[in-house]
Structure 1
Protein backbone atom coordinates (compact mmCIF):
# COMPACT_ATOMS: atom_id res chain seq x y z
CA UNK A 1 0.00 0.00 0.00
CA UNK A 2 1.29 3.47 -0.83
CA UNK A 3 2.61 5.55 2.05
CA UNK A 4 -0.13 7.60 3.65
CA UNK A 5 -2.95 5.66 2.01
CA UNK A 6 -5.46 4.22 4.43
CA UNK A 7 -7.78 1.38 3.58
CA UNK A 8 -11.45 2.12 3.42
CA UNK A 9 -13.82 0.14 5.67
CA UNK A 10 -14.57 -3.15 3.99
CA UNK A 11 -11.55 -2.91 1.68
CA UNK A 12 -9.41 -6.00 2.24
CA UNK A 13 -6.64 -7.92 0.58
CA UNK A 14 -8.39 -10.80 -1.24
CA UNK A 15 -5.75 -13.31 -0.11
CA UNK A 16 -6.19 -12.32 3.54
CA UNK A 17 -9.97 -12.43 3.22
CA UNK A 18 -9.74 -15.96 1.82
CA UNK A 19 -7.41 -17.01 4.65
CA UNK A 20 -9.73 -15.45 7.23
CA UNK A 21 -12.71 -17.49 6.03
CA UNK A 22 -10.57 -20.63 5.72
CA UNK A 23 -9.41 -20.28 9.34
CA UNK A 24 -12.95 -19.50 10.53
CA UNK A 25 -14.16 -22.68 8.82
CA UNK A 26 -11.34 -24.72 10.40
CA UNK A 27 -12.33 -23.38 13.84
CA UNK A 28 -16.01 -24.17 13.29
CA UNK A 29 -17.00 -20.49 13.31
CA UNK A 30 -18.11 -20.13 9.67
CA UNK A 31 -21.78 -20.81 10.43
CA UNK A 32 -21.72 -18.24 13.26
CA UNK A 33 -20.29 -15.64 10.88
CA UNK A 34 -22.95 -16.47 8.29
CA UNK A 35 -25.72 -16.16 10.88
CA UNK A 36 -24.52 -13.15 12.91
CA UNK A 37 -22.06 -11.37 10.62
CA UNK A 38 -18.60 -10.10 11.51
CA UNK A 39 -19.94 -7.10 13.43
CA UNK A 40 -21.66 -9.35 15.96
CA UNK A 41 -18.79 -11.77 16.58
CA UNK A 42 -17.20 -11.61 20.02
CA UNK A 43 -13.72 -10.24 20.52
CA UNK A 44 -12.64 -13.69 21.64
CA UNK A 45 -13.91 -15.32 18.42
CA UNK A 46 -12.36 -12.71 16.14
CA UNK A 47 -9.10 -12.84 18.10
CA UNK A 48 -8.98 -16.60 17.76
CA UNK A 49 -9.37 -16.26 13.99
CA UNK A 50 -6.72 -13.53 13.78
CA UNK A 51 -4.27 -15.46 15.93
CA UNK A 52 -4.63 -18.57 13.81
CA UNK A 53 -4.21 -16.49 10.64
CA UNK A 54 -0.89 -15.18 11.93
CA UNK A 55 0.21 -18.68 12.91
CA UNK A 56 -0.59 -19.99 9.40
CA UNK A 57 1.23 -17.07 7.76
CA UNK A 58 4.34 -17.60 9.92
CA UNK A 59 4.32 -21.35 9.23
CA UNK A 60 3.94 -20.69 5.51
CA UNK A 61 6.84 -18.23 5.55
CA UNK A 62 9.04 -20.69 7.44
CA UNK A 63 8.22 -23.50 4.98
CA UNK A 64 9.03 -21.28 1.98
CA UNK A 65 12.40 -20.32 3.45
CA UNK A 66 13.60 -23.80 4.45
Structure 2
Protein backbone atom coordinates (compact mmCIF):
# COMPACT_ATOMS: atom_id res chain seq x y z
CA UNK A 1 0.00 0.00 0.00
CA UNK A 2 1.30 3.41 -0.96
CA UNK A 3 1.61 6.15 1.61
CA UNK A 4 -0.87 9.02 1.51
CA UNK A 5 1.48 11.44 -0.23
CA UNK A 6 2.48 9.19 -3.11
CA UNK A 7 0.43 9.34 -6.28
CA UNK A 8 -1.05 6.17 -7.70
CA UNK A 9 -0.33 7.56 -11.16
CA UNK A 10 2.94 9.53 -10.90
CA UNK A 11 2.41 10.94 -14.40
CA UNK A 12 -0.57 12.89 -13.00
CA UNK A 13 1.66 15.11 -10.83
CA UNK A 14 1.97 17.88 -13.45
CA UNK A 15 -1.79 17.94 -14.08
CA UNK A 16 -2.51 18.16 -10.35
CA UNK A 17 -0.01 20.97 -9.92
CA UNK A 18 -1.63 22.86 -12.80
CA UNK A 19 -5.06 22.28 -11.26
CA UNK A 20 -3.80 23.62 -7.91
CA UNK A 21 -2.68 26.89 -9.51
CA UNK A 22 -5.88 27.23 -11.56
CA UNK A 23 -8.10 26.71 -8.52
CA UNK A 24 -6.04 29.06 -6.37
CA UNK A 25 -6.43 31.73 -9.04
CA UNK A 26 -10.20 31.11 -9.24
CA UNK A 27 -10.43 31.48 -5.46
CA UNK A 28 -8.27 34.61 -5.47
CA UNK A 29 -5.53 32.97 -3.40
CA UNK A 30 -1.93 33.93 -4.20
CA UNK A 31 0.41 30.95 -4.00
CA UNK A 32 4.04 31.72 -3.06
CA UNK A 33 6.47 31.74 -5.98
CA UNK A 34 9.16 29.99 -3.95
CA UNK A 35 6.94 26.95 -3.29
CA UNK A 36 7.05 27.33 0.49
CA UNK A 37 3.52 27.09 1.85
CA UNK A 38 4.40 27.52 5.55
CA UNK A 39 3.00 31.03 5.61
CA UNK A 40 -0.31 30.07 4.02
CA UNK A 41 -3.41 29.82 6.18
CA UNK A 42 -4.98 26.45 6.84
CA UNK A 43 -8.27 27.84 5.58
CA UNK A 44 -6.81 28.85 2.21
CA UNK A 45 -4.96 25.58 1.71
CA UNK A 46 -8.06 23.63 2.74
CA UNK A 47 -10.14 25.60 0.25
CA UNK A 48 -7.73 24.71 -2.53
CA UNK A 49 -7.55 21.04 -1.54
CA UNK A 50 -11.31 20.75 -1.15
CA UNK A 51 -11.89 22.33 -4.53
CA UNK A 52 -9.39 19.95 -6.15
CA UNK A 53 -11.17 16.98 -4.60
CA UNK A 54 -14.57 18.28 -5.70
CA UNK A 55 -13.33 18.77 -9.26
CA UNK A 56 -11.70 15.32 -9.42
CA UNK A 57 -14.92 13.67 -8.19
CA UNK A 58 -16.89 15.62 -10.81
CA UNK A 59 -14.50 14.47 -13.56
CA UNK A 60 -14.77 10.85 -12.41
CA UNK A 61 -18.57 11.03 -12.30
CA UNK A 62 -18.68 12.44 -15.82
CA UNK A 63 -16.38 9.69 -17.08
CA UNK A 64 -18.43 6.99 -15.35
CA UNK A 65 -21.69 8.39 -16.73
CA UNK A 66 -20.26 8.17 -20.23
CA UNK A 67 -19.52 4.44 -19.86
CA UNK A 68 -23.05 3.29 -19.12
Q: Which 4+ residue blocks in structure 1 deviate beyond 6 angstroms?
A: none
TM-score in terms of structure 1 length? 0.70
TM-score in terms of structure 2 length? 0.68
Provide the C-alpha distance between the structure 1 equivalents of 2:20 and 2:39, rounded to a whole number of angstroms. Answer: 16
Gaps of 5+ in 1: none
**Bigger relative contact order (CA 8 A; separation at least 6):** 1
State the shift of 1:61 in Å.
0.4
1:24 maps to 24
Gaps of 5+ in 2: 7-11
Q: Secondary structure at the match of 1:33?
A: coil
- Count residues with an aligned counterpart: 58
